[in-house]
Amino acid sequence: MNEDVMVWLLASPVVGAILLYLARGRVQQALAVVLPAVYLALGATLVAGGRTAFPLRAELFNLPWLDEAGVLPLRLDALSAVLLLVVLVVGLLVMVFSIRYMGPDNREHPVVDGEGNHRYYAFLSLFIASMIGVALAGNLLVLFIFWECTTLCSWVLISHHVHQPVSVRAGFKALVMTHLGGVFLVVALAIVFGVTGTFAFAAIGQLAPTPQAIVFLCLLVAASAKSAQVPLFTWLPDAMAAPTPVSAYLHAAAMVKAGVYLMARVILETGTFPTWTGALMAGLALATMGVGLVCYFYQDDLKRFLAYSTIAQLGYMMLGLSLFMLGSKTGYRAGVFHLACHSVAKALLFLSVGVMAMRLGVRSISKISGLYARMPVAATCFFIGVLAVTGIPPFSCFWSKLMLVVGIMEL
């Protein structure tokens, strides 16, 4: 039963993308609400039904040439459930928000007669399917397939405003830099399969020290490109040329978390890595936090402002995961916990900025004043998001950051 739900959960956004592409007008808007609600219902059913029997397993189809690894497996456990629920909950909110945003009342990017909306909703649904695949991936090969699907969907969504050169350039830059990470992921897959004959995550732990170190470095580059870590972070601020709901989803809650999830999964499955790998990952995370913090204060565009904040927060997550390799289990839990907490808080911030841009037609901080008097709900939501991301109690990021501090103290 649970295995069937898992397969249907993966397939339903693909079917939904076809329906959204074909539909127009009010039918399309209705589907943009109903379909992500169905995805979330399936996901919640899967997690609730299997929480006492993790991990749940299913198979997509057989690949006889892989010998003992002759299937493309799906798997749901506690770690994948975290990413899955984040993807589905925020995906529903973003799709619903898009109904008003992708319309004629948007002063920043007015959409006349739904032009381009069929492409927008279809690829947003395909992106949800891709992220579900990343979360449920049962081995490195399955993860790589859906990893590259997220890259392609993000390229299309970032470049949605095809008549604006800045959007096209931003989409192409994101495609090139994140696909570079995909190349390193292929190299890691090739080494693992060439030595062990399987794509299982746990196979990394069977490697000799030298190939294991090479695989780890390749995976770290892949994760850094996807999660905008130093030095592969410059695509994320430029990607703010995308429609704001896309930024709220891809660049706050979903795509940028794929790299964090990759490292969390590999570290969990492998068990042990040399201490120097944890130190390297921690160093890159601290550098990313520093760069994000410095650049954060020089931004006038609200979305770029939030983008650099996201870069720094992703550094927090990577730092937490690296603490596990240095001997702190609490640090690992903090990194995964912060993934979920930050996703919700930052999505709230982006959607609040989307409301402001729709009403005012600008995102420049220097041109916005008296916001609370004009839009009290949007201003209040933005303020709550700021408090949450900053880590002010009792908001969620306070607890994840506190856990990170406890993890550091365990070393």
Q: Determine contact, residues 85/47, Cβ cutoff 8 Å.
A: yes
> Is residue 80 classed exposed, middle or buried when 0-12, 13-18 and 19+ CB atoms within 10 A define those classes?
buried
Residue numbers of the domain that contains 230 = 2-409
Helix then strand then coil, % of the chain, to nearest 5: 80, 5, 20
Helix axes 255-270, 329-360, angle to 10 degrees: 170
φ, ψ of residue 164 to 5 degrees: the values are -110, 115
**Residue 263 C-beta-side C-alpha neighbours within 13 Å:** 39
Q: Name 376's Cβ contacts closer than 8 Å, sequence gap at least 6.
A: none
DSSP, collapsed to helix, strand or coil, labels residue 76 as strand
Please give the C-alpha separations between residue 394 and each of 191, 345, 397, in angstroms, as whole numbers.
46, 13, 9
**Count of domains observed in the chain:** 1
User: What's the CA gap between 39 and 18, in Å, rounded?
Assistant: 15
User: What's the CA gap between 147 and 142, in Å, rounded?
Assistant: 8
Q: Determine contact, residues 314/220, Cβ cutoff 8 Å.
A: no
Quote the tokens at residue 278: 């944890």
User: What's the CA gap between 33 and 28, in Å, rounded?
Assistant: 9
- Helices assigned H by DSSP within 232-328: 235-238, 244-248, 255-270, 275-296, 302-325
Look-up of token digits 């794929």: 258
Q: Name 346's Cβ contacts closer than 8 Å, sequence gap at least 6.
A: 248, 252, 253, 306, 309, 310, 313, 385, 389
CA dihedral angle for residue 353, residue 356, residue 358, residue 359, rounded to 10 degrees: 180
Q: Determine contact, residues 225/311, Cβ cutoff 8 Å.
A: no
Q: Name 7's Cβ contacts closer than 8 Å, sequence gap at least 6.
A: 58, 60, 74
Q: Determine contact, residues 128/113, Cβ cutoff 8 Å.
A: no
> Is residue 169 classed exposed, middle or buried when 0-12, 13-18 and 19+ CB atoms within 10 A define those classes?
middle
Q: In sequence order, what are the beta bridge partners of 76?
A: 56
φ, ψ of residue 137 to 5 degrees: the values are -55, 130
Rg of the chain over Cα atoms, rounded to whole angstroms, equals 21
Q: Which residues of the chain have pLDDT under 50?
A: none
Q: What is the reported pLDDT for 110? A: 82
User: How many Å from the N-terminal Cα to the C-terminal Cα in the chain?
Assistant: 43
